[in-house]
Amino acid sequence: MKRLISLIALLVLLGVAPVPSAFATEQSAQWEQSEQWDDWADDPSALSINGFAQFKALVGRQDTSTSRNDALLRFESDYQADLYQLSFKGDMRRSAHQDAVHNEIRELALTLDFTNAAPGSHWADNALLRNLSLRLGRQTVTWGLGDLLFVNDLFSKNWQAFFDGQDNQYLKQASDGLKLSYFSQVLSLDVVYQPRFSPDTLVGHGAIVSQLPQPQGPSYQSRVYVSKGQGDYAFYVSDGWATQPIRFNDHLSYAHQQSIGVSLIKPLAGGLFKVEWANYWQQSLINQQKQRHSRWLIGYEWELAQRLMLAVQAYQENDSRHFIGDDRQILTARFTHRSHDSLWSTQVMFMYSPNHHDRYIRANTTYRHSDSISVSFGANLLSGQPTSFFGALAAHENIYTRLTYFY
């Protein structure tokens, strides 16, 4: 399998032509229309500073705490120059439930974008570099087409934040790494290198998971994508680690994981059609036991009425070994509505497993009072047998409200 992945990566690199793509050309044009900055001190517009303050109140059920209040302060800073960008995002969260303050760096990265080089410069004349972008440091990476169902997006997630009423952005977990992007008229390539294992933040099972052997070593993720006609096509290859423990026949273990996958998205019959597939080869860190796992997803999104969208998905997992919770099937439907003035935005998502018979309803409505103030109300409602995925999380269902001030 390693030889197969290496061969595929080599063929991809040889097939990438050093010619600017439509995407890169459009991006360069946008930069040419914007101001060119000479010096940080001479032109402070090169530096931007913003963020938000947020207060969240949550009410849970059963063995969770009856209420949890959190205060969050986000600081963001960005410095933009011709060929590089420095970006920072940091959070300070005060949890009344835990009576503690948590600090997190969500982003601390340097981006080198040679596609923005001025015509006639050394960088623009270099056939290799002029279509290249590098991003180094702490960052979040995401790709794939699934709506809260992840097929080829194998980057780590924060499931505690997801089920705890936080903004959707916190589902994607930040990690250290290097992202290389190369653009051409024929196809484009993304490669992500992460030097250290970055696991999911899970809901419950903390004591069990903490005792498991942790993976050591880097991971590699790559995506080749091309736009042809009205369709976008992508091919994925990865070699790294499963970001959460996997059930093997007789034990739970982190695993070495390799995968290949494909995806397609294109307009169809007045809506947007998507399909995605991936196959995984997994090997336990405990006893080297091997198994295979695959996932596929089909989805369609269209406008039911003015300002009302409906997106549906059918998702299937297939496991080479049988255990409780294997071969999972999920059907989803997400309704999204915006008011005529765009001040109200409401989303309700239903998830149901036909073969495991568990359910999840995720609802949120947000009112933007002004450019500076918004208020959100939401709920996470779960049910099912204790042995099912959503059923096991039923004790964590909740309702919440968030008040956000942007500065």
Is residue 29 within 8 Å of residue 377, measured between CB atoms? no
The pLDDT tens digits of the residues spanning 38-92 come to 444 445 458 999 999 999 999 987 544 445 789 999 999 999 988 899 999 999 9
Q: What is the pLDDT of residue 149?
A: 97
Other CB atoms within 10 A of residue 301 CB: 17
Helices (H) and strands (E) in the chain, counts: 6, 20
- Of the listed ranges 91-95, 127-131, 266-270, the least confidently predicted one is 127-131
Is residue 223 within 8 Å of residue 235, measured between CB atoms? yes
- Of the listed ranges 32-46, 85-99, 235-249, the least confidently predicted one is 32-46
Q: Give the residue with greater pLDDT, 199 vs 43.
A: 199
Q: What is the pLDDT of residue 205?
A: 66
Residue 275: pLDDT band (50, 70, 90) is very high
SS3 annotation, 34-91:
CCCCCCCCCCHHHEEEEEEEEEEEEEECCCCCCCEEEEEEEEEEEEECCCEEEEEEEE
Residue 249: pLDDT band (50, 70, 90) is confident
Helix (H, G, I), strand (E, B) or coil at 374: strand
Q: Give the residue with greater pLDDT, 322 vs 334.
A: 334
